Structure 1
């Protein structure tokens, strides 16, 4: 069983204020912020690192001010977005050039030499070409016939945010959610992390769906065909050019030849990610705003609070997986019962997290500031942005009977995910 909450009281070693805390969480002082963020500080790697962090913070403050200005923000293609698109097209152009050059060499022939060179270039172009995502085969995937009520809710949320709905829903053990496309026809897939879904209220679940589907409504370039596939292509190139382990004499030469192309690919990948970060953070704020309009400001703020404790939820899940591993072999009935208990433990734990732990997480986030390589704005700023605007009511209201039917539709996937979590932890 998880640790039992035990209230402790002691004076703050810095200012002497009496601190009341829960023994399960970090002891800290709300009066002077003593021990508010006991994690290891991010190492300072020099002037460039400090300059990048300052730039990220300044940009983040400007973006938040823009969102709180009262104007109706729209996704826009600024110079960074245009440059990112041009860079992505260049990446795809290199792959196309390899394919065209290979075909030309094969047609030219050159007494057979061109055929060999052309074949090598064509194979290389095929190997480095962006791949179309497929439906995952390592987790439960639901279609409309499997979960009509869940899809009906997703359809209603999609209509509220102004976009098309999804074609499939994958359920896994992550404390997260996301959207992506799969197949040559660009079908939409919603990925629901069951641990996150379980700890949310029905209203917060609608806010979560609204946020994820809003990325399609906002035209987020990171999920787009051009930029998204270019990032995956560069990642593949970077992986292909990785140094050979335990090299022989010849392989050491190959590794040396790989150094410059690998650095070039890595630099291009980092540049492309940085160029899309501004538009990406703007898209997150816009998605939060659409989530609030779909599920209400209160529900969207509640979702932000839940995201603050995902680290603690992960610790609990790993602890339960370790406990299950130490328990040894169990019968199928025992394993099923243990999987059912997991979600009860998780929801009870989330419900018991005290407000002072949420507040500590917000203050710790403010101290850490923006991370240059972060794909999302800090959660405390997203929450502040929601609270700084005019409160809005829900466009989609949960229905008790629908919530029950959705739970029934997810029951089999829910049990399967729990069994995998207890067996493998959060690694899979």
Structure 2
């Protein structure tokens, strides 16, 4: 029995972890809140700052594209500063730029500060997963579930906080995240032990070289296509809903709650019973159908709201299973694999909302969601071409049939050698 198989066979408790894990997980929750935080205030920003929907969606584009590009340098930085200092640097940047976005008085200023926010986000998320994997009790599978639980809670809480604070002022969500991230920064400083600098330094080219591995490349391309559909929905669906900030907050809170529940409770059970590949094929196909429903009836509020909330089921399943598969099949160290994978997938997430706005301006409201649906179906096709690799991932093997390496040394997991 392989290490991964053994881990799935035992109960993993997320409630008995070192304080350092809780500190990083809390920071993860706040960081991931930034993804959906602006959703409820997109229409308000459009009307109050006299900006078109496509201009407003650049809040996603600047944030995620900078995150994607910066991911390429995260291992270079962390291998020189150490994991703790890299986390602190990322958190400090997020605190600063989210506050500056709140003080800004123009859509261009907010877009620019969201880009700076994306730089901090890249430093933080690429390192936080490695730290949790290294420090959490329950093995690799348990660490992934814990990480996805933090992601799910953040995604669920972000729109709700954005709606509550955005109902007061569009500036509120930015100041709220800045304050919460400051708390996370203090918790990380106090609770996370000092991490030694690695013996070897990672080169800037390491993530791009990792993409030569066709298993990691296929998973990354599939994630790019999936994120195109995901962020088309997340970035543009709030406009045709024509709801207030607080109402949008509750809609996306319902969506995020399903993401969290399905990430933690549903995905592992589906993987155990049906395997990673079949579970992903079905989840992504159903998500494509969900997007097709939005494409057909984007102007029917009840259909649109219901479809967005239901999408949380499929997104939650996909997030957990894909993250675990990427970490298992990749032949490189996990931080490098995470950076390479994040670079490719966030490019899709960053470009999709802006493209959706432009497609609506040039065609109609149906087109971007139809393209998003087709992109997710294309992701299924890419994964089908990697079926053997996914089957090996379930066995704890890489795509060549070799046992996947389990890192026992926290420094080995947290930092990648060159």
Fold match by TM threshold 0.5: no
Return the structure number with greater strand share: 1
Q: Which has the higher contact order (CA 8 A, sep 6+)?
A: 2
Return the structure number with greater helix share: 2
Give the TM-score normalised by structure 1. Answer: 0.24
